């Protein structure tokens, strides 16, 4: 099947075909998602939460992200793979930003990177784009700034913040980003942004009137249980399924039922 590229995503937006995107952080999960026909895999810094168990996305490092991204790349044939640059690897210094992006591209082989923020990081965005690395933007709830926000509540409900988000989205598009993630903002605002921009806008908790959707795969599979925002649709209860399987295994080991005569040499 045809490899998904920034160009293909642009065509999908132009013809109104919705873009499917999920996170993955390891080889085995990425292989399942790619073979299932997913358009875009995001090696999100949500790995900090769901893989490493940290409370926020701040602790994960560029080395950690490169490890996850390269693991995903060994599995993928068709999907476009985007990796998040982690907190501290691109903010405040565009020279550091381009060095981080180049390391990610060289050492993992991903197709592009995603960074959080608008005007504040515009210089970094432009500098990364200038070396030929595709950049995806991320506005609205930007978890790397959680200590500034102080809450994971819906963003841009007030006029001022909404106006800044629209301005930032346009600045990012003008700079040349190939796509934009909008996280946890009012559906009406997301619809307006997706309508104004010609690049694909992917939403999470941003309603259905955007060009595609993204979720954290552990959330939509029901592996995580303590995270239940309104926007999350659970497609499975894998936590329960895995728990049952582990319990059956424990009981078979304890009873001596496993292994049986056909399961030995």
Catalytic residue numbers, as ranges: 183
Count residues binding Na ion (CB under 5 A).
3
Q: Is 204 in the site for ligand KIV (CB under 6 A)?
A: yes
Q: Which is nearer to ligand KIV, 113 or 216 (CB)?
A: 216
Task: Count each helix (H run) and each strand (E run) in the chain, helices first.
Answer: 11, 8
What part of residues 73-92 is at the interface with ligand KIV (CB under 6 A)? 84
Q: How far is the CB of 11 from ligand KIV (least distance, A)?
A: 22
Q: Is 44 in the site for Na ion (CB under 5 A)?
A: yes
Q: Which is nearer to ligand KIV, 56 or 259 (CB)?
A: 56
Q: How far is the CB of 84 from Na ion (least distance, A)?
A: 4
Q: Which is nearer to ligand KIV, 22 or 97 (CB)?
A: 22
Q: Judged by CB under 5 A, which stretch of 27-35, 82-90, 100-108, 220-228 contacts Na ion?
A: 82-90
Q: How far is the CB of 96 from ligand KIV (least distance, A)?
A: 20
Q: How many CB atoms lie within 10 A of CB 167?
A: 12
Burial class (CB in 10 A: 0-12, 13-18, 19+), 118: buried
Instruction: Label residues 191-215 b or e (16+ Cβ within 10 Å = b).
Output: bbbbeebebbbbbbbbbeebbbbbb
Q: Judged by CB under 6 A, which stretch of 39-47, 148-156, 233-241, 254-262 contacts ligand KIV?
A: 39-47
Q: Is 214 in the site for ligand KIV (CB under 6 A)?
A: yes
Residue positions forming the annotated binding site for Mg(2+): 45, 84, 116
Kindly give the pairing relationship between strand 19-23 and strand 40-43: parallel
Q: Yes or no: say if 155 and 181 are a contact pair by the CB < 8 Å rule.
A: no
Q: Yes or no: say if 104 and 69 are a contact pair by the CB < 8 Å rule.
A: yes
Q: Which is nearer to ligand KIV, 53 or 256 (CB)?
A: 53
**Which of 46, 89, 94, 144 contacts ligand KIV by CB under 6 A?**
46
Secondary structure (3-state) at 61? coil
Kindly give the pairing relationship between strand 179-183 and strand 112-114: unpaired
Q: Is 179 in the site for Na ion (CB under 5 A)?
A: no
Instruction: Label residues 231-246 b or e (16+ Cβ within 10 Å = b).
Output: beebeeebeeeeeeee
Q: Enumerate binding residues for Na ion (CB under 5 A).
A: 44-45, 84
Q: Enumerate binding residues for ligand KIV (CB under 6 A).
A: 23, 42, 44-46, 84, 181, 183, 204, 214, 216
């Amino acid at each position: 099947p045809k490899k998904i590229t920034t160009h293909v995503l642009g065509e999908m937006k132009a013809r109104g075909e919705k873009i499917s995107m999920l996170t993955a952080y390891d080889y085995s999960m990425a292989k399942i998602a790619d073979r299932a026909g997913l358009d875009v895999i995001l090696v999100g810094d949500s790995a900090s939460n769901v893989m490493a168990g940290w409370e926020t996305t701040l602790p994960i490092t560029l080395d950690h992200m490169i490890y996850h991204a390269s693991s995903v790349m060994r599995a993928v044939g068709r999907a476009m793979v985007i990796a998040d640059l982690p907190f501290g690897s691109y903010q405040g210094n565009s020279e550091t930003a381009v060095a981080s992006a180049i390391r990610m591209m060289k050492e993992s082989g991903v197709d592009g990177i995603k960074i959080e923020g608008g005007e504040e990081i515009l210089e970094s965005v432009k500098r990364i784009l200038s070396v030929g690395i595709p950049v995806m933007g991320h506005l609205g709830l930007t978890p790397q700034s959680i200590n500034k926000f102080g809450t994971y509540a819906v963003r841009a409900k007030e006029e001022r913040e909404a106006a800044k988000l629209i301005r930032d989205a346009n600045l990012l598009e003008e700079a040349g980003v190939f796509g934009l993630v909008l996280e946890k903002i009012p559906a009406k605002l997301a619809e307006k942004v997706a309508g104004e921009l010609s690049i694909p806008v992917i939403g999470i908790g941003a309603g259905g009137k955007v060009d595609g959707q993204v979720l954290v795969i552990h959330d939509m599979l029901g592996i995580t249980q303590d995270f239940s925002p309104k926007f999350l649709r659970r497609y499975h209860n894998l936590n329960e399924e895995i728990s049952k399987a582990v319990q059956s295994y424990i009981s078979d080991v304890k009873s001596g039922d496993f292994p049986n005569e056909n399961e030995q040499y």
